[in-house]
Structure 1
Amino acid sequence: MVATLHQDEFPPWFTPPPGIDELPTEDGVPLESQRHRQAAALLAEPLELHFSARADFFVGANMFVFFSALQAKRNDFRGPDVFVVLDTERRERKAWVVWEENGKGPDLVIELLSPSTEAEDRGRKKQIYERALKVREYFLYDPFAGRLDGFRLDASGVYRLIPLEASGRMKSSQVGLELGIWNGVFHATHAPWLRWFTSEGAMLPSDEDLKARAETEAARANAAIDDAKAAREEAEAERKKRVELEERLAALTAPKSGA
């Protein structure tokens, strides 16, 4: 963990690191592609929905992470595509500033690979996550090739490969979920999407999934209402036919006057 001093603990000759209002929170550089943006959203949003009843976590996406004054000065580290911090306050942040979070950094990081970032993600960034930030779990995913790699810090603070489970997915001990590849349609694009799953194999739903599910349930409910209405109308029509037939039979069997 990174040591942290409060403002009144700095010696008089020491210049404290910049606060959030002094740090850049945007660089104008978008994620690599639409696929990357959607993949990041498909990882962050379902996780927030899954933990919506909790107040002790934070999920960030395409957001700066500052872990040292020198790094902040150089501004040469953009931060992860997706990251999770546990045992923290759930609130909005412009960026994650380690020295303003009691020395707390991300517990889990996911980088979405591309030809222009893969060497950095597997090299320099991996070293930062392993040695400087000590991120407990680090996952790398190529959203076009559908390849997932995962690393977990061992007792000596060195990354070791995370093995696949029998399900073919990769377990995250940090969030108690599994990461797996889902070949399906998201935002009109069929692709191998990286998704969160429970240990029982249930996929965490996205906003799009929940909307589609609600629409399906509404359509089913409307169909049930229509079926019930049709059944009532049919029953009423049968009742009217029966009454009409009974009236005709009664007329035929009634004694004629004057007979």
Structure 2
Amino acid sequence: MTVISFLPASVIYAIVSPPIGESIPATRPPSRYNSPAMATQLATAQPKRKPRAKRQDTPQPCPEPIAASLEQLQQLKLPSGDGDKMESDWHVVSITLLDELVRNHLGEPTHYFCGGNMFIYYSVEQAKEIEQYVEAEPPKRKPRFKGSDFFLVRDVDGTKPRESWVVWNEDGRYPDLVVEFVSPSTRGKDVDANAQFYAQVFRVPEYFWFDRRSGELVGYRLVGRDYVRIEPDAHGWLWSAVLGAYLGVWRGSYRGRVWSWLRLWDSEGQLVLTREEREARERARAEQERVAREQAEAQAQQERERAERERERAEQERVAREQAEAQAQQERERAAQLQAELERLREMLRQQGIESD
């Protein structure tokens, strides 16, 4: 039995892996709002306290809240971007690919929302950190959490325009699934800190991270307040109950780049295709159908030609038979004429008293 421990902020959360093949439903706790995460720290509503300790890099649940009113939350400035570049081109394209695959698998986003490289606002303190970072000249220290590489929220209207995901504007909804694409500079955060953060603060039912360099794909499912590692199947794929699909590593070409990619397979084990792959498959299917039609037409033409040859041969045989019959009839008539002439001559000889042999 494998034990996985996260050790940020002097708190240890042990996660014990289940037996291989054990299925655990991906369900969110009944509470719609995560009170610790929604906490605000308003100076006017709090007694004096000791100076703030040095901030840690690991995202932490906010202290026990003195709840902020929705009106105060709505007054916050919520930047939708900070101009920071992503870690690499692979990150950008990987997010684009996963977003495309999820939409192709789930269909029109009338019942879900998925976002990539998008800010997720969940508390006053965090929103202010982002605001200060974006507006500061020169930029200050980065906020502890801005958003996930990719996330999905179920049972919401995904057609609604959003520049960021604001929890208090979304009926307290947090992501149901999060995927992080690991880079050397983010590996420690994605592997350890984010796993605790998504379990303890966001309570995300499923969390996956993928490291292209090592080929590692790891997934967790929330059980209570802790993550249990999802065991791979015989293909090395991880089942996502949120998506109703497997996640796995696939090496091939996407948008002209031959890399290792995070891909989806449906419950039947069929690869979820990109738009380009669908179009290529449709073109191949259309080409196969065209070739099949041409082959069928060629075969039909050959059958017609064979039938025509058979008809011509039969006609030739009929004509030959008729000619042979006519010739035979002529021969019979000529023989009859000769026999009659012979009989006539014999009769003449008998009349003259001449015997003929």
- Tell me how far apart the structure 2 counterparts of residues 82 and 123 of structure 1 sit (CA, whole Å): 17
1:193 and 2:225 correspond = no
- Tell me how far apart the structure 1 counterparts of residues 79 and 216 of structure 2 sit (CA, whole Å): 32
Structure having the higher Rg: 2
Query: Which of 160, 185, 203 lines up with 1:134 in the alignment?
Result: 203
Q: How many pairs align?
A: 250
Identify which range, 158-167 or 208-217, moves more after superposition.
Answer: 158-167
Matched-pair contact (CA < 8 Å) for 2:109–2:157: no
Query: Which of 16, 24, 34 lines up with 2:73 in the alignment?
Result: 16
- Tell me how far apart the structure 1 counterparts of residues 279 and 82 of structure 2 sit (CA, whole Å): 33
1:104 and 2:173 correspond = yes
- Give aligned-pair identity as a percent: 32
Would the alpha carbon gap of residues 245 and 166 (structure 1) be closer, same or farther in structure 2, given more than 3 Å must change? closer
Matched-pair contact (CA < 8 Å) for 1:61–1:80: yes
Q: Give the secondary-structure state (helix, strand or coil) at the position aligned to 1:15.
A: helix
- Tell me how far apart the structure 2 counterparts of residues 214 and 147 of structure 1 sit (CA, whole Å): 33
- Tell me how far apart the structure 2 counterparts of residues 78 and 65 of structure 1 sit (CA, whole Å): 6
- Tell me how far apart the structure 2 counterparts of residues 18 and 222 of structure 1 sit (CA, whole Å): 62
Report Cα offsets for 1:145-179 as digits up to 9, x if no partner. Answer: 31112223221x12333332344222223333222
Query: Which of 229, 241, 251 lines up with 1:173 in the alignment?
Result: 241
Q: Give the secondary-structure state (helix, strand or coil) at the position aligned to 2:115.
A: strand
- Tell me how far apart the structure 2 counterparts of residues 99 and 54 of structure 1 sit (CA, whole Å): 21
Q: How does 1:2-41 map to 2 (within 5 A)?
A: 2=34, 15-18=72-75, 22-41=77-96
- Tell me how far apart the structure 1 counterparts of residues 127 and 69 of structure 2 sit (CA, whole Å): 21
Which AA in structure 1 matches 2:185?
Answer: S
Identify which range, 107-116 or 173-182, moves more after superposition.
Answer: 173-182
Would the alpha carbon gap of residues 190 and 16 (structure 1) be closer, same or farther in structure 2, given more than 3 Å must change? closer
Match of 1:79 in 2: 147
Scaled by the length of structure 1, the TM-score of the pair is 0.81
Scaled by the length of structure 2, the TM-score of the pair is 0.61
Matched-pair contact (CA < 8 Å) for 2:199–2:222: yes
Match of 1:213 in 2: 281
Match of 1:120 in 2: 189
Higher relative contact order (CA 8 A, sep 6+): 2
Matched-pair contact (CA < 8 Å) for 2:221–2:228: yes
Matched-pair contact (CA < 8 Å) for 1:179–1:195: yes
Matched-pair contact (CA < 8 Å) for 2:103–2:109: no
Q: Give the secondary-structure state (helix, strand or coil) at the position aligned to 1:44.
A: helix
Match of 1:7 in 2: none
Matched-pair contact (CA < 8 Å) for 2:176–2:206: yes
Matched-pair contact (CA < 8 Å) for 2:109–2:159: no
Unmatched 5+ residue regions in structure 2? 1-32, 39-67, 131-142, 331-357
Identify which range, 80-89 or 39-48, moves more after superposition.
Answer: 39-48
Query: Which of 210, 225, 239 lines up with 2:293 in the alignment?
Result: 225
Report Cα offsets for 1:123-146 as digits up to 9, x if no partner. Answer: 544443233222122111012331
Would the alpha carbon gap of residues 234 and 30 (structure 1) be closer, same or farther in structure 2, given more than 3 Å must change? farther
Would the alpha carbon gap of residues 30 and 217 (structure 1) be closer, same or farther in structure 2, given more than 3 Å must change? farther
Report Cα offsets for 1:71-102 as digits up to 9, x if no partner. Answer: 22221233111111112223242221111001
Q: Give the secondary-structure state (helix, strand or coil) at the position aligned to 2:309.
A: helix
Matched-pair contact (CA < 8 Å) for 1:144–1:191: no
Matched-pair contact (CA < 8 Å) for 1:141–1:149: yes
Task: Give 1:18 shift.
Answer: 4.3
- Tell me how far apart the structure 2 counterparts of residues 11 and 201 of structure 1 sit (CA, whole Å): 48
